Amino acid sequence: MASKVMRRLDRTLRSVADKDVSICLVGESGSGKEVLARRIHALSPRRDAPFVPINCAAIPENLFESELFGHERGAFTGADELARGKVEAAARGTLFLDEITELPLAMQAKLLRFLESFRFTRVGGTKKIEADVRLVSATLRPLEQEVKRGTFRADLFYRVQGITLAIPPLRERRADIEPLVTELTRRFARQHRVSPPRLSRNAAAALREYAWPGNIRELRNVVEQLCLLSAGKRVGARDLPAALQGSPGADSAQPASEQVLAVRLDRPLDESIDAIIDAALALEHGNRARTARRLGIGVRTVQRRVGAR
């Protein structure tokens, strides 16, 4: 990466990747936490064993235990055969818990029990199974805040924090945008077998100046869209998605960040939050999981706010 902050983060990451300690990655949605988790795994002595990711926000609460620890045949209705869980699949490798703050409190206790002994029992079973895993977790908000709010166990916090690495949002490392665009353009042009688009100065400036609320995930989507719709063509600022046409490098009067600020200030906070969630739901065609990822919040938060109206 070109930015000083990411070069510094990479040096820190390299210094801890080969140490068998838990690592917690803190950063906004789409900032690249899973990419860094995979890099930690690739630089560790466990690199030849599995890397197993789990999105804690995407698993229904009643299925958490089975998803993590597996279940025996007949453990519950529909359990027609033995199923090994993610923990067992990650044995000798890395278990990546994304959005770990979405773990229900009951499951937090069971995860803590496993991390204290690295032994577990499948749902419906009695046999203790050992699984030597390295835990890497990710969260949108510092775990200390969740402990104070009472939504995250303090004893589990001390188990998973180990080394905490903060990942800055893309808007705070603008020097990385151009090399990321170059790399993503090359990747998507090759993947879709098209000629890469050519960015005008205004288009490149708009990409640099945009706030990127969705971070690298949003940048990736924009670049892929350009590769598909403008293959081999020169891309001007007006050819960019509408949201980017509000950034200073494009021909538009009001930056996207100001538009968001207006939404937040012209009504009570609760109404603004509902309006933002409704707008994101519309963009994601009602899909609550994608809405949560777009906004950088847990899917249960979206479900709770929508269900309360």
168, 203, 224: which is the final residue of a domain?
168
Q: What are phi and psi of 120, to 5 degrees?
A: -150, 170
Please give the Cα distance from 83 to 66 (Å, whole number): 8
Higher pLDDT: 291 or 270? It is 291
Residues 112 and 214 in one domain: no
Is 156 domain-assigned? yes
Question: Per-residue pLDDT averaged across 100-105, rounded?
Answer: 92
Q: Is residue 151 located within the same domain as residue 187?
A: no
Q: How far apart are CA 191 and CA 173, in angstroms?
A: 27
In the structure, what pLDDT confidence band is assigned to residue 309 with cuts at 50, 70 and 90? Answer: low
Could you tell me if 27 and 157 lie in one domain? yes
Considering the domain architecture, whether residues 216 and 292 belong to the same structural domain is answered as no
How confident is the prediction for the chain on average, in pLDDT?
86
Question: b or e along 119-146 (b: 16 or more beta carbons within 10 Å of the residue's beta carbon)?
Answer: ebbbbebeeebebebbbbbbbbbebeeb
pLDDT in tens, 123-166: 999 999 999 999 999 998 889 989 999 999 999 999 998 899 99
Q: Are residues 199 and 281 in the same domain?
A: no
**Cα separation, 172 vs 191, whole angstroms:** 29
Does residue 163 form part of some domain?
yes
Residue at which a domain ends, from 235, 257, 279:
257
Tens digits of residue pLDDT in 9-57: 999 999 999 999 999 999 998 899 999 999 999 999 999 999 999 999 8
Confidence at 287, pLDDT banded by 50, 70, 90: confident
Q: What is the pLDDT of residue 114?
A: 96
pTM here is 0.75
Question: How does residue 308 score in pLDDT terms, banded at 50, 70 and 90?
Answer: low
> pLDDT per residue over 81-94, tens digit each?
898 999 999 999 99
CATH of the domain at 205: 1.10.8.60
- Tally of domains in the chain: 3
CATH code: domain of residue 278: 1.10.10
Asked if pLDDT for residue 271 goes beyond 80, the answer is no
CB 208 within 8 A of CB 178: yes
DSSP character at residue 144: H
Mean pLDDT of 94-119: 94
Residue scoring higher pLDDT (296 or 31)? 31
CATH number for position 43:
3.40.50.300
pLDDT at 191: 94
Q: Is residue 102 part of a domain?
A: yes
Strands 134-139 and 163-166: unpaired
137 and 197 in a common domain: no
H-only helix segments in the chain = 4-17, 33-42, 64-69, 86-89, 105-117, 143-149, 154-161, 177-192, 201-209, 215-229, 256-265, 269-283, 288-295, 299-307
Q: Are residues 131 and 210 in the same domain?
A: no
Confidence of residue 302 (pLDDT cuts 50, 70, 90): confident
Residue 74 sits in the same domain as residue 189? no
Residue 26 lies in a domain: yes
Which of residues 141, 168, 195 is at a domain's end? 168
Please tell me whether residues 252 and 286 are part of one structural domain. no
In a domain, 22, yes or no: yes
Question: For residue 262, is it within any domain?
Answer: no
Instruction: Say if residue 179 is in the same domain as residue 291.
Output: no
Per-residue confidence band for 1, with pLDDT thresholds at 50, 70 and 90:
low
> Do both 51 and 112 map to the same domain?
yes
Bridge-partner residues for 98, per DSSP?
55
Strand-pair partners of 26: 139, 166
The pLDDT, as a whole number, for residue 292 is 82
- At 161 the pLDDT is 87
Distance of alpha carbon 134 from alpha carbon 18, whole angstroms: 11
High-pLDDT (> 70) share of the chain, %: 89
In a domain, 253, yes or no: yes
- In this prediction, residue 269 carries a pLDDT of 62
pLDDT, tens digit, 9 for 90 and up, residues 218-258: 999 999 999 999 999 999 988 888 888 765 544 433 333 33
Domain shared by 128 and 42, yes or no: yes
Q: Is the pLDDT of residue 106 over 80?
A: yes
List of residues 6+ apart from 170 with CB closer than 8 A: 31, 176, 177, 212, 215, 216, 219
131 in any annotated domain:
yes
**DSSP-assigned letters across all residues of 146-172:** HHHHTSS-HHHHHHHHBEEEE---GGG
Boundaries of domain holding 210: 175-257
